[in-house]
Amino acid sequence: MCGIAGLIHFNKSHNSDPETVRNMTNAIRHRGPDDDGFFIENNIALGMRRLSIIDLPGGHQPMTNEDGTVWLVFNGEIYNFRELRSELTAKGHKFKTNSDSEVIIHQYEESGQDCVSYFNGMFAFCIYDKKKNSLLLARDRMGVKPLYYSANRQSFAFASEIKSLVKSKLTGREVDTEALYDYMTFRFVPAPKTMLKGVNKLPPARTLTVNLNDGSASIAKYWEIPTAAESGSISFAEATDELSALFKDSVEKRLISDVPLGVLLSGGLDSTCVTAAMHEIGISRIKTFSVGFSEGGIFDESPYAEEASRHHGIENNKIIIGLNEFREYLGDFAYDIDEPIADLASIPLYFVSKLARKDVKVVLSGEGSDELFAGYDFDRIALALERIKMVHAVPKILRDSLPKAVLSPFGFKGLLEKLDRFNAPVSDYARQRLFHITNIFGEKDKLVLGLSGNNSFEKIKSLYAGSGNLDPINQILYVYSKSWLPEDLLMKADKMTMANSLELRVPFLDYRLVEFAFSLPSAYKVRDGAGGFSTKHILRNAFKGKIPGSILNRKKQGFPVPAYSWIKGPLKAYAKEILLDRGRSGFFDAKETANLFAALDSPDAGAPEKLWSMIVFELWHKKYINSYE
């Protein structure tokens, strides 16, 4: 795991400044405190910071091939590097190290740009090819590792984090107003934009090729989540067995390490499944780490984590935080998160990562399970679908004509529109409703606040348009996996763990497991039973008897954080200071902001959630726009 950066000028006579690329890597020293390295030659400057995980003495970067014509900087892990190394050795490639980094170089020599399709891992890398005078940048299939870039007519720069790109001096300090407009709805900025104008992030499963002769660039997609109609050929029992085998293999691949590793154990189903799989593989001394809030009750899930640990005879390490810790970290959070993400769970994730880093360098976690196997509130969505199917049991001629004949004379326009939605084909249900996990500020809310832009949900509509022949529930999961998962969950996970020099691995997002999950009918994921619909049915079935029943059957509740109640009380004065006092960004209408504070006690206004998104932006603006050094 590393932080990578580079600055390249298209004019070969324009030498790169070593000091600049060193400043870029110093800005991300937290990503790799163990080592640094540079390749600087004329107009080319590549740099890295290394967190040593595999081949501790031999994995130094930048790394090159035998004749020095291919150079690599790489952030991440290639979990199948040993198999690829054997295949490449058989084809005559010579290896100098035991690192996974060198496999990337030789696979590139063998397969060119298509090398990425061979890698099972999480990665963001840049290859400089001297012979072709080109760059190849790539990001892993699901977007576990971030990669940012910026360019003008003379130069191109890339980095693992925005704070590093700022040091390249290719970027100004200006907010991208379209990105802000979308952020206010989603609480994250959808790729390829970022909040900083002129800085882009490479979307997942993409390569970016830059021709250094003329500065031209092209982006290509090398993988896609399957969107064909789900297979009906595999039985539920067979699918459960295959899921168990695939997940166990995915976890085992992510145990490759020359340093200690552990698990971020929330006490929920997903991280407990990871712990159970490690135990089944034979890892007896598993270190687990949990976090809770001093408010207790629903804000402290550590008792479930302790129960899961006891079940497997291992020790759980936990940290309890409260208002003071939360408040004191907010300023640094705005810097660490790199671009605004208004996900409250980021804060406890930072603290549990800090705890884990005292004992280990690598942790596994359960991100991605909900997006593959239908967690969250998919029980309610499945129930709504069943009701629509009941409506469709009525002959179409009656569904088309009867409601209009009865209701039109009396008005009832809203009811008729709702009935029209129910009357649409079941296969279009998700596309019509445009389900998305976040909708903090609606379009009218944003206009009132003083913002303007194109309808943010047009981006969600385009994702649904790409969901192919999947059934409605799998369509929603597809969209979540393309937006919420990489832009919120994985981005915050990377930034909060790496702020503590901790590598995070996510076994649920092995691409083989993703492809398998999207081949399954949604009936295997959300199952109707005596107690109503149950979510993640196939995953629960696969781990029946392997984890405590209280966790196996526990309903998903997200990571509970008491900050919304704090904004109504002990954090209210601080929030007003950030949003209403002098020094604010000026993007939000002051009168409407004051109205949101006045609406804090109204249960339907969503004021705490809206104010939190605004607070995160203002704190980020202060760090990256007003006073970045």
Rg (CA), the chain: 25
| Segment holding 122, helix H or strand E | strand 121-129
Res. 386: pLDDT tops 80: no
Domain boundaries, the chain: 2-221, 231-440+455-556, 563-626
The amino acid that residue 195 corresponds to is M
pLDDT over 70 (residue 486): yes
Of 2, 115, 126, 273, the catalytic one is 2
For residue 626, the model assigns a pLDDT of 85
**Lowest-confidence segment of 426-435, 504-513, 530-539, 584-593 by average pLDDT:** 426-435
Q: Is the pLDDT of residue 402 over 70?
A: no
The yes-or-no verdict on residue 440 having pLDDT over 70 is: yes
Q: How confident is the model at residue 341 (pLDDT cuts 50, 70, 90)?
A: very high
Task: Please name the residue ranges forming H helices in 374-471.
Answer: 378-391, 396-407, 413-423, 429-433, 443-449, 457-465
Lowest mean pLDDT among 314-328, 371-385, 458-472: 371-385
Least confident among 156-170, 348-362, 547-561: 547-561
Q: CA 287, CA 315: separation in Å to the nearest integer?
A: 7
Work out the average pLDDT over 432-454.
91
Tell how strand 121-129 and strand 134-139 pair up: antiparallel
542 closest CA partner among 162, 277, 214: 277
Residue 398 pLDDT > 70, yes or no? Answer: no
Q: What's residue 604's pLDDT?
A: 72
Residues 303-332, mean pLDDT to the nearest whole number: 91
CA 77, CA 439: separation in Å to the nearest integer? 34
Contact 325, 294 (CB under 8 A): no
Per-residue pLDDT, 221: 98
* Contact present, 353 and 499 (Cβ < 8 Å): yes
The phi-psi region of residue 575 (left if phi > 0; otherwise alpha if psi is between -120 and 50; otherwise beta) is alpha
Instruction: Indicate the average pLDDT of the chain.
Output: 91
Q: How much is the pLDDT for 306?
A: 86
How far apart are alpha carbons 250 and 194 in whole angstroms? 31
pLDDT classification of 419: cutoffs 50, 70, 90: low
Confidence of residue 88 (pLDDT cuts 50, 70, 90): very high
Confidence category of residue 404, pLDDT binned at 50, 70, 90: low
130: exposed, middle or buried (Cβ count in 10 Å: 0-12, 13-18, 19+)? middle
Alpha-carbon gap, residue 368 to 504, rounded angstroms: 13
Is 2 known to be catalytic?
yes
Pairing of strands 287-293, 316-321: parallel
Give the integer Cα–Cα distance in Å for 469 and 227.
6
Cβ atoms of 368 and 359 within 8 Å: the answer is: no
Per-residue pLDDT at 461: 94
Section 514-538 average pLDDT: 89
Per the listing, tokens 């295949």 go with 87
Q: Which one of 3.60.20.10, 3.30.420.40, 3.40.50.720, 3.40.50.300 gives the CATH number of domain 2-221? A: 3.60.20.10
Which helix (H) or strand (E) covers residue 72, if one does?
strand 70-78
Any idea which fold 231-440+455-556 has?
Answer: Rossmann fold (3.40.50)
Is the model's pLDDT at 17 over the cut of 80?
yes
Task: Name the pairing type of β-strands 121-129 and 70-78.
Answer: antiparallel
pLDDT at residue 401 above 80? no
Contacts of 522 (CB under 8 A, 6+ apart): 230, 374, 382, 471, 472, 473, 474
Residue 301 confidence (pLDDT) = 80
- Of residues 447 and 389, more confidence is placed in 447
Given this model, what pLDDT does residue 101 score?
Answer: 94
Contact 612, 620 (CB under 8 A): no
The reported pTM is 0.94
Confidence of residue 296 (pLDDT cuts 50, 70, 90): low
451/444 Cα distance (integer angstroms): 10
Question: Which range is least confidently modeled, 101-105, 424-428, 479-483, 520-524?
Answer: 424-428
Maximum average pLDDT range among 307-321, 397-411, 430-444, 488-502:
488-502
**186-244 pLDDT, tens per residue?**
999 999 999 999 999 999 999 999 999 999 999 999 999 999 877 678 999 999 999 99
What token pair was written down for 546?
Answer: 């392997």
